[in-house]
Structure 1
Amino acid sequence: MSDLIVRVAARGEGVTAGGRHAALAAPGDTLNRDGSVTPGPHRQAPPCRHFPTCGGCQLQHLDEASYARFVTDRVIGGLGGQRLDAPVRAALVSPPRSRRRATLHADVRGGRTTIGFAMAGSHDLVDIVDCPILAPELFALVAPLRAMIPTLGPRRRVDLDLTLCDQGVDLLITGVRADGLAAAEALTAFAQAHRLARLALDGGDGPETRWAPEPATITLGGVAVPLPPGAFLQATCEGEAALVAAVRAAVTGAGTIADLFSGLGTFALSLAPAKVYAAEAARDAILALKASAARAGRMLVTDHRDLYRRPLTPTELSRFDAVVLDPPRAGAHDQVVALAAAAVPVIAYVSCNPASFARDARLLCDGGYRLDWVQPVGQFRWSTHVELAARFSRR
């Protein structure tokens, strides 16, 4: 018996109408009785030689249309799990070679340095010689880093956080101290030779900047914001633009807006001319936002506040015309419970987890909100990681 693959599940397997699963199958493929798969019209040749061994991507075998459909279906499936229905827009997908932020791993053993992502289901690394998701500026450092990492001392595994900021590539190396003159000189030479915006190390006591010709910044909402080493940033410029556009559309006309889990101000700095209150638990991020907003003359008040331990109360929330909510993957249960009891007219919710978003959306809808629309965003191209923005309004 042969079955047609009709969709791709959340973890990336192809699924038939009867519930049979097949790894690396695309919609339109045929799953045969013996478990083999006959390719269909939506299968493409993976663009990377490391697929599917490398765990950085799970869906390079899907063509453009079926990958975009997977992103949308992840959102629809999350909503369905909570018995919710709303207009779900077509997915906005970032192009290849657009990732401006990534964490690679380096492993030094037997005189050989391996740099790349972990293999699927393993801690072993794939030594990447190509990567169709990374921005070219980031990938250009992989080969030079293979030569430089062993000079930093006898460390087996280190993490390499690469971020493309306004001044170039910001590199944070975690897992080494690089004590001694030789290591210090090697770092300086590497940073100079590759024109890094900044080079920092974290040997366990927090990031220490070793090279920064000028302060590293990231421009958000037209404002240059100081970029703390390792700070969160949307993965692609295109993904950020899609999420910002959705949030702005959701809160159009609001005069006072609360941006909760604001980070460096991706949304807060894009909401002018509204008056914005921004709350964030990460101290470096909120101080960077406060300083940059003041320099730019933005009407923005910042609050160093842990919204998990001390969410805004319904009384505090009801002072705002709109609330922007962008929590971590776990969602924002306690803050959402307070929102459901508040009188905020509009909520723009940004999420990187359709399941936790749907759980929180159920609480808001049970509290009297209507889910007006959802915008899926696929900025982690060819992965199963999906983001979204949504608008809620009081019924």
Structure 2
Amino acid sequence: MSTETVTIQRLGAQGHGIAHGAEGPIYVPFALPGETVAIARVGNQGTVMSTSVTAPERVTPPCRHFGPDGDLCGGCSLQHLADKPYQEFKRALVVDALKAKGLEPDVRDLVPAAPGERRRAVFSVRKTEKEVLLGFNQMESHTIISIRECPIMSPGIVGRLEMIRTLAGSMAVGADPFRLTVIETLSGLDLAADGLKALSDKQRRTVVETVLSLKGIARVSINGEIVVEPQKPQLDFGGVTVSPPPGGFTQATREAEQVMAELVIAHIGKSKRVLDLFAGSGTFALRLARQAKVHAVEGDDKALKALDEAARRTQGLKPVSVEKRDLFRRPLMPQELKNYDAVVFDPPRAGAEAQTKELAKSGIRTIAAVSCNPLTLARDLRVLVDSGYKIISVTPIDQFLWSPHVEAVALLSK
């Protein structure tokens, strides 16, 4: 380890400050462009020891767990950056990814996120002899920072943190860590533990008794198996009520989901036959079914079942058909695509490379691409542009407040 003084030149893609060293870039968490900092350096990683020049864009972090003056919680990386430069940073993640692929479309201003909007959180949990640790891993570490507050999460989760901690403790098997996904639904909290060893019958009874003694818990599942479900968890997708599967994917905030849906629906317009790829539990498909016949394709059979059940019990929708299919291994081919007027796809972070190559050969005129990874989005859009599609607009959307992650919706036509 060495000690030196450096000046931060820019922010990296992970939100770390980057200084130019003699041997290459040095990454310094919690430092901002324009700041001069004394750091302890190990390889290309620097830890701030003191700051002699402070950037005017620096603000006081709203959370006591954040940064070197807090507990070093790894849940956020940019609470110390003022709103305007923070939003410019998020937008630039999308712009730069597109430019790297030779694309310079109209990239709109970032749709911002606000504190208290986050309805889904994935906690790290471990039971020690003294307490139940419930929180997030320290940056670049397996150490769990047990949180007592969180400004990004909804009041419905923050207000029940101690209740969640109690319930997590009843699930814990020994001192092994596990993940606990918490989603705030219309009917209560949906908790899904993953990575736990099998519970004994006595422990299962304890979990059930704990849940029944608490208020506001809709369901608890462990490793995908429902242990207790006082009420079915319910989400609202544009007026259609859906009960997602245990641990199923849900957009992180209602507000971002609504913006994405509005962009997609407006772009699809009067298309009569719409294909929703990587459809999940129906975030887009069920909304689109208000105006078009929809075929939803998804690899997760439990998510697909939730979508299908919601469509069947909701009056006023156009026909919704479903298909279980691994689109990474078996993308829909041009012959299968010819019956559709428009396509929506919202893949995982890996993107939709195989499917976009087939879409590029199709005659579909309207495409809406939703992505949580600017790099794979840019790769997939390059394929479509090379085949004749035009990018009408790209809208960055923030639903991962104070993190280096950003959502985007790209609208294309041919």
Q: Normalising by the residue count of structure 2, what TM-score does the alignment of the two structures yield?
A: 0.87
Partner Cα distance (2:372, 2:108) in 1: 16
Name the residue aligned to 1:377. Answer: 397
Contact kept, 8 Å, 1:353 with 1:386, in 2: the verdict is yes
Task: Give 1:181 deviation, angstroms.
Answer: 3.6
Q: 1:282 aligns with which of 270, 284, 300?
A: 300
Q: 2:153 aligns with which of 118, 121, 134?
A: 134
Contact kept, 8 Å, 2:167 with 2:210, in 1: the verdict is no
Q: 2:36 aligns with which of 31, 34, 51?
A: 31
Partner Cα distance (2:212, 2:381) in 1: 46
Closer, same or farther in 2 for the Cα pair 1:120/1:346, shift >3 Å?
same
Q: Does 1:57 align with 2:72?
A: no
Task: Give 1:316 deviation, angstroms.
Answer: 1.7
Q: 2:295 is matched by which residue type in structure 1? A: Y
Q: 1:30 is matched by which residue type in structure 2? A: E
Task: Give 1:71 deviation, angstroms.
Answer: 1.2
Q: 1:43 is matched by which residue type in structure 2? A: R
Task: Give 1:6 deviation, angstroms.
Answer: 6.6
Partner Cα distance (2:261, 2:330) in 1: 26
Name the residue aligned to 2:408. Answer: 388
- Structure 1, unpaired ranges of 5+: none
For the aligned residue pairs, the C-alpha RMSD in angstroms reads 2.3
SS at structure 1 position matched to 2:146: coil
Task: Give 1:130 deviation, angstroms.
Answer: 1.4
Q: 2:280 is matched by which residue type in structure 1? A: G
Task: Give 1:59 deviation, angstroms.
Answer: 0.6
Of the structure 1 ranges 290-299 and 370-379, higher mean CA displacement relative to structure 2 is found in 290-299
SS at structure 1 position matched to 2:217: coil
Task: Give 1:20 deviation, angstroms.
Answer: 7.4
Partner Cα distance (2:94, 2:372) in 1: 10
SS at structure 2 position matched to 1:92: coil
Contact kept, 8 Å, 1:22 with 1:31, in 2: the verdict is no
Task: Give 1:25 deviation, angstroms.
Answer: 3.0
Name the residue aligned to 1:156. Answer: 176
Closer, same or farther in 2 for the Cα pair 1:149/1:392, shift >3 Å?
closer
Name the residue aligned to 1:110. Answer: 129
Partner Cα distance (1:226, 1:128) in 2: 29
Closer, same or farther in 2 for the Cα pair 1:276/1:114, shift >3 Å?
same
Partner Cα distance (2:38, 2:403) in 1: 28
Q: 1:193 is matched by which residue type in structure 2? A: L
Name the residue aligned to 1:93. Answer: 112
Cα deviations across residues 196-233 of structure 1 (Å, max 9, x unaligned)?
Answer: 1112222xxxx222222232221112111121110000
Task: Give 1:330 deviation, angstroms.
Answer: 0.6
Q: Does 1:69 align with 2:84?
A: no
Contact kept, 8 Å, 2:391 with 2:413, in 1: the verdict is yes
Q: Does 1:367 align with 2:355?
A: no
SS at structure 1 position matched to 2:410: strand
Name the residue aligned to 1:314. Answer: 334
Q: 1:228 aligns with which of 232, 245, 257?
A: 245
Q: 1:40 aligns with which of 55, 80, 94?
A: 55
Cα deviations across residues 330-386 of structure 1 (Å, max 9, x unaligned)?
Answer: 111110000111111011000010000001111111111111110001101000011
**Aligned runs of 1:192-211 on 2, under 5 Å?**
192-202=213-223, 207-211=224-228
SS at structure 2 position matched to 1:115: strand
Of the structure 1 ranges 289-298 and 10-19, higher mean CA displacement relative to structure 2 is found in 10-19
Contact kept, 8 Å, 2:119 with 2:253, in 1: the verdict is yes
- Structure 2, unpaired ranges of 5+: 40-47
Contact kept, 8 Å, 1:188 with 1:210, in 2: the verdict is no
Name the residue aligned to 1:167. Answer: 187
Partner Cα distance (2:88, 2:212) in 1: 42
SS at structure 2 position matched to 1:360: helix
Contact kept, 8 Å, 2:170 with 2:206, in 1: the verdict is no
How many positions carry a matched residue from both structures?
Answer: 388
Task: Give 1:147 deviation, angstroms.
Answer: 3.8
Contact kept, 8 Å, 1:191 with 1:199, in 2: the verdict is no
Task: Give 1:172 deviation, angstroms.
Answer: 1.6
Q: Normalising by the residue count of structure 1, what TM-score does the alignment of the two structures yield?
A: 0.91
Partner Cα distance (1:81, 1:233) in 2: 30
